[in-house]
Structure 1
């Protein structure tokens, strides 16, 4: 499985610093302006799960990919993300702005009668997108601004107040209906194929003998995308004419040829980093894909 993004990963990648209390504070919370984390010079949002919740007020035009679905959003959208579903953003315009907050489930666990993951917008299979008009944008932005102001304060009970602000946003959204036309993407097969390809390519190049190719089968990718393996296979075959396994094998064989040609790693090391438990399995795979043994190819 591809690594889940942790809070530590988030701070390291976005800001190159770490809050002092992040290890001790299992109920971590923070709030940010979107433009401070996205755009030129900032790392792209990777397609992966997170181990924290996120609420985003996003302005501009984007495509949000989660599981096997894609939402194309215009104007202002309120989005809710849970730790169970991998996602990423694809900006389609240069005018992105807004706010987002992140928090661990423990931030609420002692203060709500039920788990935050039971709320409709956070529930697995739920619809997390709400399109806002100008007045709604102004209202929700105002709540985010209060959170931003409070997080910087020395008020002893500021996190109790912030919990109330998050609850206010949640109930504001619950009074609305998720925006159905967000979920009518014209070519879901093409999108799931594109996300699969991104996940596959992100595992390469192999740059160290200790690095390991981890998503090795169609089932691995389906589990990561939270879709049924048959659905993934149908989508990729309908889009490319090849099976999921054929794409994986071709990419692994290509990386194997590159490592044999351009490194001095021994065949056991190459076998290991490409995910094979035994060099004999790698030899059999390579010969089937290339009609040559690894030793003959290198020689």
Structure 2
């Protein structure tokens, strides 16, 4: 997985090999109530270069995703996507299961469905699913099946794992849609999905809608019309939102100068970057950094 300039200041960790199979693209593990973090692991911002999912059966660890603190709750499902910034504030014993996989895992032909699901695309930037008793039973059972199959090395293991994964993540995506957006995920949103995917790949290089229209082989006007219709927001707003999110991550989690942040995000003029940020947030970058750090430190 490539690392962008903006990720150099915040280290990105690759997925550790699965303890049962040695796989570096898919792992499933049980949390065992043991806290084994080193002291130096705490309060250090980092990114996971993979999709991370955790079913918390019991526990109350406190951590951050981007600029939002979370106190883990029992019988809750947590999830993040690559490149988001994580920070451990405290760790207490917990039980549950974790499931992790990379973009390479999703790129496998048999996993093409997973990549299209809302919980994987995460358009509403969610991280937490509240579960009722029936949800807990279903999700815990599916994770146990995935764990057992991954450990067993039986015939047709990959097909069994993929079947369980599809069932689990379709179920989770239904919960995601209910709890976050209730947005239509039908075929008529395919242009929006492709547009957002291109922004995620190239937001540090291209800041204009026309550049993404060229990548998608359609006119800028037509792209703008479709994106506004499918998302309710102007096409340029999605580019600006992604730039603002990354700017806030770097202002909060690093000590890079404003000029360094501006250049890493593709702004050639730091003064223009300051005006851009202030226009969208009513604060200068320096003002935002001071305020957010005073609020949470």
Interval containing the TM-score (normalised by the shorter chain)? 0.5 to 0.7
Quick one: structure 1 residues 167 and 63, their matched pair in 2 at CA, closer, same or farther if it must change by over 3 Å?
farther
| Alpha-carbon separation, structure 2, partners of 1:240 and 1:21 | 39
| Distance of aligned partners of 1:104 and 1:68 in 2 relative to their CA distance in 1, 3 Å threshold | same
Cα–Cα, structure 1 residues 71 and 120, in superposed 2: closer, same or farther, change >3 Å? Answer: farther
Structure 1 residue runs of 5 or longer lacking an equivalent are 23-27, 181-191, 201-214, 242-299
2:64 counterpart residue number: 65
1:73-122 Cα shifts (integer Å, max 9, x gaps): 42221122211322234446x34111011112232321244561x43223
CA separation of 1:235/1:108 partners in 2, compared to 1, >3 Å: closer, same or farther? same
Q: CA RMSD in A?
A: 3.9
Which residue pairs with 1:75 in the alignment? 74
Separation (CA, whole Å) in 2 of partners of 1:162 and 1:115: 13
In 2, Cα distance between equivalents of 1:166 and 1:223: 37
Partner of 1:163: 162
1:251 matched residue in structure 2: none
Name the counterpart of 1:84: 83
Deviations 1:154-199 (A, max 9, x none): 213212211222222212222224656xxxxxxxxxxx99996664
- Report what 1:102 is aligned to: 100
Partner of 1:220: 261
The question of whether the paired residues in 2 share the 8 Å contact of 1:193 and 1:239 is answered with no
C-alpha spacing 1:240/1:141, structure 2 compared with 1 (3 Å): closer
SS at match of 2:169: helix
- Give the match for residue 282 of structure 1: none
Whether the 8 Å CA contact 2:111–2:162 is kept in 1: the answer is no
Native 8 Å contact 1:6 1:50 kept in 2 = yes
Q: Tell me the residue number matched to 1:121.
A: 119
List structure 1 segments (4+ residues) > 6 angstroms apart after TM superposition. 192-195, 221-224
Question: In the alignment, is the contact (CA less than 8 A) between 1:121 and 1:128 conserved in 2?
Answer: no
Alignment CA distance shift 1:194-1:52 (3 Å): closer
The 8 Å contact of residues 34 and 100 in structure 1, kept in 2 or not, is answered as yes
Contact 1:120 1:126 in 2 (8 A): no
Name 1:297's counterpart in structure 2: none
Q: TM-score, normalised by structure 1?
A: 0.53
Q: How many residues align?
A: 199
Q: CA deviation at 1:57?
A: 0.4
Q: Secondary structure in 2 aligned to 1:168?
A: helix
CA contact (8 A) 1:122 1:128 kept: no
Partner of 1:150: 149
Q: 2: distance between equivalents of 1:218 and 1:64?
A: 29
1:260-271 correspondence to structure 2 within 5 Å: none
Are 1:5 and 2:13 counterparts?
A: yes
Partner secondary structure for residue 155 of structure 2: coil
Asked whether the 8 Å contact 2:31–2:98 carries over to 1, the reply is yes
What per-residue deviation string (whole Å, max 9, x for no partner) do you get for residues 5-48 of structure 1? 112xx45xxx9x896564xxxxx211111237x61455747532
Matches within 5 A, 1:1-299: 1=8, 2-7=10-15, 10=16, 22=24, 28-35=25-32, 39-40=35-36, 44=41, 47-58=45-56, 59-91=58-90, 94-109=92-107, 110-113=109-112, 116=115, 118-123=116-121, 125-177=124-176, 179=179, 199-200=254-255, 215-217=256-258, 220=261, 233-239=286-292
1:183 matched residue in structure 2: none
